[in-house]
Amino acid sequence: MHDDRTLVEARLKRVLDERIRPAVHPESVPLDVAVWTAPGEPVPVAEGLAAPAVSIAVGDRWGAPWGTSWFRVSGTVPQAWAGRTVEALLDLGFDENMPGFQCEGLVYRPDGTPVKGLNPRNQWVRIGAPVAGGEDVLLHIEAASNPVILDYHPFLPTQLGDKETAGSEPQYTLARMDLAVFDENVWNLVQDLEVLGELMAELPVEGARRWDVLRAVGRALDRVDLQDVNGTAAAARAELATVLAAPAEPSAHRISAVGHAHIDSAWLWPLRETVRKVARTTSNMTALLEDEPDFVFAMSQAQQFAWIKEHRPEVYAKVKKAVADGRFVPSGGMWVESDTNMPGSEAMARQFVHGKRFFLDEFGVENDEAWLPDTFGFAAGLPQIIKAAGSKWLLTQKISWSQTNKFPHHTFQWEGIDGTRIFTHFPPVDTYNCSMKGSEIAHAAKNFKDKGVARHSLAPTGWGDGGGGTTREMVAKAARMRSLEGSATVTWETPAEFFTKAEAEYPNAPVWVGELYLELHRATLTSQAKTKQGNRRSEHLLREAELWAATAAVRTGFPYPYVELDRIWKTVLLHQFHDILPGSSIAWVHREAEKTYAAVADELNGIVAAAQRALAGDPASGELLVFNSAPHTRGGVPAGGAGAVTVGSPGRPAPREGGGYVLDNGLLQVEIDGRGLVVSAYDIGAERETVAPGQAANLLQIHPDFPNMWDAWDVDAFYRNTVTDLTELDELTPVEDKGAVGVRIVRSFGDSQVTQVLTLSPGAKRLDIDTEVDWHETEKFLKAAFPLDVHAERYASETQFGHFYRATHTNTSWEAAKFEACNHRFVHLEEPGWGVALVNDSTYGHDVTRTVRDSDAGTTTTVRVSLLRAPRFPDPETDQGVHRFRHALAPGATIGDAVREGFRINLPERRVAGDRTVAPLVTVDNDAVVVSAVKLADDASGDVVVRLYESTGGRARVRLGIGFEFADPKVTDLLERPLAEGNVPVRVEGGVQLSLRPFELVTVRLTRR
């Protein structure tokens, strides 16, 4: 037989596009349309419904950027349509290729009841099935004219990302407002032909099944009368019945479809718009659940449920009912789908605490899975946190975006820094926006790397990013692939049902140890510096507020601010969303974030001040107390306590031969040359130089920074090919600053200026570096380099509840791909017996490289901290303005010293007038053990909760001293619920004894007597 495949396939495409799809709605009449444009921000529903509207016609322009227009559509169902199914087709001017990224709408009845959302792939509203004919139709549409930021030519700078700069030009043209007959038979024919046509394209040409499908499609097209598609659709479908009924092979890959609408809590839209996106999507999904009995929908992010509860209670009522029915599944158990690289230990824990508690309180649901499809890589401390929250599974998809190395598994055990393992799945469909295309289903089956030992994978199904969710077409296609020869099988299942099956069939899944590094989006560790600083400082202020409020509550009866701390934590957790904290959102988001962080700081500082005032005693005593919030004693003041301290006398900067100055405090001798560069940092006790021979530390370097795509997200390796060392000097002067001695350095470059103050404090074995940058560059990358005379094949960077080692070499492509990585408060390098720490108060991105010197064959290991970038998309003014950073170089530091110095720089002492020494609520007798939180229990019982962890990577026995009368100490999970097994506290005089494995975190709950 002649090969006529291309002829039949081309015929299928044209007949579908030009004849069959248009026949789904064969008759229509126009609706009358009127519009009212809200003058500012969105208004309450009742106001929008009652507002005076003026006539508007199809073809008219509407919608200034970020505006809200209330459309009123009205009409009458023709009497001739009696007995038929009728829908309203409401096209606001959609581009079908941009679901979630365009204008959207939520449809209401006149009484304010929400009906469903409108988006480019969901433009219909059911009027009746069947109708009687003659019904009056009146609907209201709350339409958001969100501008298109990520257009067909992506990454072009645009002012549309902030309402203040977006202008008022209408963005959309009203396209269609009709009542139309819906022909379900033709609609089903479309689904039949799409499924078979897409399956056919994936089948091997030499296989009989492809030809069986091809011939059936050809026969069906023969039965379609192109002048009477509606009258011949049933006959065409009959020709397809046999090939659609052929069951899947027993060995077919098995896909668990989970209805899904990944909604970025902010990205190319502000937070306030996400509130409405969630309402639109959940309205659609609850309606679809009512229509489709097999369908299951999962939604993560407790924050998004909380938004609709607060802002759209009528939508939330439908969600609660669907959750109770077990078909709308709260998933993930986190407050938001956060970044996991940059949030600190406690913040990462609280993501699960607040997320899981919300789902328990609202729905009685506890999640076993962490659900993070779009997060940009995963820190090595996360498995322990997931387990400590009472969960055991993880799903993500984003690792499939890695540019260099293909991850070797789709289902595996992920082992974290402490040895905890979490059963993990990467959907081989390689998208969290699966639309049930045949190509997607075939890709999942072919791509699945665990064939032969496992056969289950998961497909998150529905339009996401900007929301929209699953469509009736996706559900219909899934039904046809439930068991279809040549295809993987598709079944709607909850995440828990999938993971239970996947884990049972793969008990010996392979193990991946350490971080799940995304070989892409590395620049998100640096973009939008003020957002990152706001996060870091909020995390540490929350630590202080909880610590001092708890201490004051126990010691003085101070009213513990439960409600305020709960609200502030949720605000900070929201801003850790994986497009806010990483700096990849529009200008509006980051402008608001800066204001929010300032308000958070004001409120937390107020809580801290009030609690310390309650503790400090008589402010008129003339005495000054130092409050130490850090987890280590400093200046004689115990961790978590307050007392008087004395400050040593600083020396004075000495002129350096050849220019510059020498700083010396008896522990370190630092030479700063005439260029203002650190050319020596000599550890006097160890008789050891820190700076590599012939090199200079604290060297500011600037690179061009124009990645191939994803400007705010990416830095490509070629950026290193061009570098400019900033050595020109405006000013070099000696200074004395708060008891320290140092120098002030001013440099100008481009349109920017940097001022640095380098200081040595009495008794401190570190060089403090305060940097202020007035930054006005674009598409540039600013780093500070520290070439160290250290031979190290690996280095440590702090992560949640510990640290993680990365290679300094590039032996393999896996190591080479990590040319920009994340740390929290410190990076540490060492040779046996001597090390160096570089600590920071608000930066995350860094790189570490090593070279061998020709002069002495010694190794130079260079640590560079990333300070600022200047991408132009999606915020064309990214990071413009003044920024302040604090770093410190600590020669001779052990890993324990690095931990201590990291906390010191992030938790400065507070000085309060008073005469009452404050004893800590709790103490530890092992410096390797860090107390990460002291607080009162969330249930307002008054119990004291202490979280601690082993910080150096070794085993530790520790006595937790308890400075109050207590009974019944319990080890709990993160939600402060007693654990049936695990670490057991042993009562000893004045406290409890614990044994910790490397990096183990333990939460202890203490009932006060």
What does the block give as tokens for 355? 């997320």
Q: What is the pLDDT of residue 652?
A: 85
Q: What is the pLDDT of residue 984?
A: 81
Distance CA 718, CA 734 (A): 39
Q: What is the pLDDT of residue 3?
A: 85
Q: What is the pLDDT of residue 981?
A: 83
**Percent of all residues in the chain with a pLDDT value above 70, rounded to a whole number:** 99
Picking from 797, 972, 948, the residue whose alpha carbon sits closest to that of residue 380 is 797
DSSP 744-756: EEEEEETTEEEEE
Rounded mean pLDDT, 724-730: 98
Q: What is the pLDDT of residue 736?
A: 81
Q: What is the pLDDT of residue 962?
A: 97
Picking from 700, 713, 715, 703, the residue whose alpha carbon sits closest to that of residue 819 is 715
648 pLDDT band (50/70/90 cuts)? Answer: low
For residues 100 and 179, the answer to whether their CB atoms sit within 8 Å is no
For residues 956 and 950, the answer to whether their CB atoms sit within 8 Å is yes
Rounded mean pLDDT, 457-475: 97
Mapped to the 3 state alphabet, what secondary structure does 159-219 carry?
A: CCCCCCCCCCCCCEECCEEEEEEECHHHHHHHHHHHHHHHHHHHCCCCCHHHHHHHHHHHH
Q: What is the pLDDT of residue 921?
A: 98
Q: What is the pLDDT of residue 909?
A: 96
Q: Is the pLDDT of residue 303 over 90?
A: yes
Q: Is the pLDDT of residue 633 over 90?
A: yes
Q: How far is CA 679 from CA 134, 668, 744, in A?
A: 88, 13, 16
123-156: buried (b, 16+ CB within 10 Å) or exposed (e) per residue? bbbebbeebebebebebbbbbbbbbbbbeeeebe
- Please write the tens of the pLDDT for every residue from 356-374: 999 999 999 999 999 999 9
* 968: region left, alpha or beta (phi > 0 left; psi from -120 to 50 alpha): left
Neighbours of 547 (CB within 10 A): 26
Q: What is the pLDDT of residue 541?
A: 98
Contacts of 184 (CB under 8 A, 6+ apart): 85
Q: In this structure, is the dihedral angle defined by the CA atoms of residues 982, 986, 991 and 994, taken in order, positive or negative?
A: negative
Q: Is the pLDDT of residue 391 over 80?
A: yes
Question: What's the distance, CA 208 to chain centroid?
Answer: 47
DSSP reduced 3-state for 1007? strand
622 pLDDT band (50/70/90 cuts)? Answer: confident
Indicate the pairing of strand 731-737 with strand 740-749: antiparallel
Q: Is the pLDDT of residue 709 over 90?
A: yes
- Please write the tens of the pLDDT for every residue from 767-798: 999 999 999 999 999 999 999 999 999 999 99
Q: Is the pLDDT of residue 1 over 70?
A: no
DSSP reduced 3-state for 83? coil
Neighbours of 888 (CB within 10 A): 23
For residues 527 and 879, the answer to whether their CB atoms sit within 8 Å is yes
Tell the burial category of 986 from Cβ atoms under 10 Å away from its Cβ (0-12, 13-18, 19+): exposed
739 pLDDT band (50/70/90 cuts)? Answer: confident
Q: What is the pLDDT of residue 969?
A: 94
Q: What is the pLDDT of residue 738?
A: 67
Rounded mean pLDDT, 958-987: 93
For residues 781 and 702, the answer to whether their CB atoms sit within 8 Å is yes
Q: Is the pLDDT of residue 306 over 70?
A: yes
Picking from 291, 240, 293, the residue whose alpha carbon sits closest to that of residue 129 is 291
Q: What angle do CA 365, 367, 370 make, to 5 degrees?
A: 150
Residues that are catalytic:
374
For residues 1008 and 943, the answer to whether their CB atoms sit within 8 Å is yes
Q: Is the pLDDT of residue 626 over 70?
A: yes
DSSP 742-811: EEEEEEEETTEEEEEEEEE-TT--SEEEEEEEEE--SSEEEEEEEEE----SEEEEEETTEEEEEESS-S
Picking from 408, 506, 394, the residue whose alpha carbon sits closest to that of residue 452 is 506
DSSP reduced 3-state for 855? coil
Q: What is the pLDDT of residue 515?
A: 98
- Please write the tens of the pLDDT for every residue from 868-920: 999 999 999 999 999 999 999 999 999 999 999 999 999 999 999 999 999 99
Contacts of 546 (CB under 8 A, 6+ apart): 565, 933, 934, 935, 936
- Please write the tens of the pLDDT for every residue from 249-291: 999 999 999 999 999 999 999 999 999 999 999 999 999 999 9
Distance CA 948, CA 935 (A): 12
What does the block give as tokens for 705? 């920074």
Q: Is the pLDDT of residue 647 over 70?
A: no
Dihedrals phi, psi of 769, to nearest 5 degrees:
-130, 110
Question: How large is the greatest C-alpha to C-alpha distance in the chain, in angstroms?
Answer: 104
Q: Is the pLDDT of residue 61 over 80?
A: yes
Q: List, in sequence order, every residue forming a beta bridge with 378; answer none if it has no partner.
A: 516
Q: Is the pLDDT of residue 854 over 70?
A: yes
